[in-house]
Structures are given as structure tokens and as C-alpha cells.
Structure 1
Amino acid sequence: MIITRNIDLSVGSVLCLSTYLSGWLFANVPGIPIALVVLIGVALGAFLGLINGVLVAFLKVPALVITLGTLYAYRGIAILWIGPHFIRSSWLPPEFRRLGTMSLFSIPVRCWSCWSWCWWSAGS
């Protein structure tokens, strides 16, 4: 991203909206499958990223400027939506909470996902 002079400043706000949506689904839709929640959370993040990409591509404005604007827009949406509410980790299914501590061949799953992203990014 740095080589192409494109950087996304709105990542934190996108993450905030996606994770809150995931927790909100677990808290308000009893029995919802974990895979569906993960898919919906990723879909929201991809949609918000698509908005950034479309704005950069069609308006021909540097990504730094567009993503700075969407950072504040997405953060504002999060503040309006979340307000004083919160999601307790105890409201999440135990299987979902274990995703962060799972291991595959004694290597944390989070490392596998990072390595796969680095491998995929290097190929493109």
C-alpha cells in the first residue's frame, strides 16, 4: 500500500462497525450461526471498503483524502448507532470467543490468517 501511495485511514472505523454488528447479532438474534455472523461482519467491512475504492477510482482523489473523510463518516455512524450501548463478551457464544485462542499445529490461528494474507498479498 505504501509503495502505491495508497493508505486506508478508515480501517479502525470499519473494524468498529463490523465488530459491533457481529456482537449485536449475537446479542439480538438468538441461535444465529457463528459462520453467518462472521460472513455478515466481513461483508459489511468489504462493502465499506468498496465505498472507499469506488470513491478513489471514480473521483480520482488520493486515497489518503477519501479514507480520512470516510474515517470520520464511519466513526459518526458508529457513534450514532452504538451510543451508550455495549456488547459484553459473556453475551457471545463460547465457540466464538475461542476463535481468538485456537491453534493449528501448535500455531495460533491468528498467525495462520496473517501468513495467508501476506502470502496472498505478495502474489498480487
Structure 2
Amino acid sequence: MKELLYKSFSSIMALLVLFSTVSFTVEKHFCGDVLVDVAVFVEAEKCKMEALEILQKKTCCKDEIDVVEGQDELKFSSFEDLDFEQQQFITAFAYAYLNDFEGLPKQIIPHKDYSPPNLVTDIQVLDQVFII
């Protein structure tokens, strides 16, 4: 279970970094006030009125391009960039976390291979001691 959580959180963080740094464009083509086509990464398909507008030199069609820019620079900070209290907290946390998962020493059980003797008679009946 712990390994599954670790792998899923690692994958989510990798995808988060990937999608925060990716840039893409969304191109929309309008004919009048009607949206004709929306395209991502490629050019939007033009309507058939576009060819007539070139001949008549009137424009009722328009293109909108939305650019979604990702993060260009990722900030890499080192341990020395932290102030003393943060360094102390991280060091104490890492020390406690790593020592928390150390294995217990192997315990010796002296009577592990001992088998009890066979009972010949029932001692409670022999001594007539009964639990009431």
C-alpha cells in the first residue's frame, strides 16, 4: 500500500511539472459571431466564406489566437538557500524519519523448540480442583 501511494504521488508530481511547463496555442475561427472551428496545436479550419471575402475585400471572418504559456524558468533551490531554522527542521525530520523504520533486533526465544510432556492423567480431576 505504501509503495502504491509513493508511486502514485511521484507520477502526479511529474505530470504537474510537465503540464506547468508546456506551452500551447488555441486558435479559433469565427464567421461573423458564429464559432466555426477550434484547434489546438494546429491551424483552425477556415470557413467557405473566407474565399469570397478575399475577392470582395470585405471581412466578416476573424481568427482569435490564445497562447497559453507555460513556465519558462524553474527555480532550483539548494539546502544552503534555506535559513537556519528550516535547515534544522529538515535535518531533524529526516533523522527521525529514517530512524523510525529501522528493524527491531532479532529476539531470541529460548523455548521455541521445546515441546511439553504428554499428559498421563488430568491433574484437576486427580486433585479434585474445579473452577466454579
Q: Classify the TM-score, shorter chain.
A: under 0.3
TM-score (norm 2): 0.23
Q: Which structure has greater helix proportion? A: 1
Tell me which of the two structures has the higher relative contact order, counting C-alpha pairs closer than 8 angstroms and 6 or more residues apart.
Answer: 1
Greater Rg by CA? 2
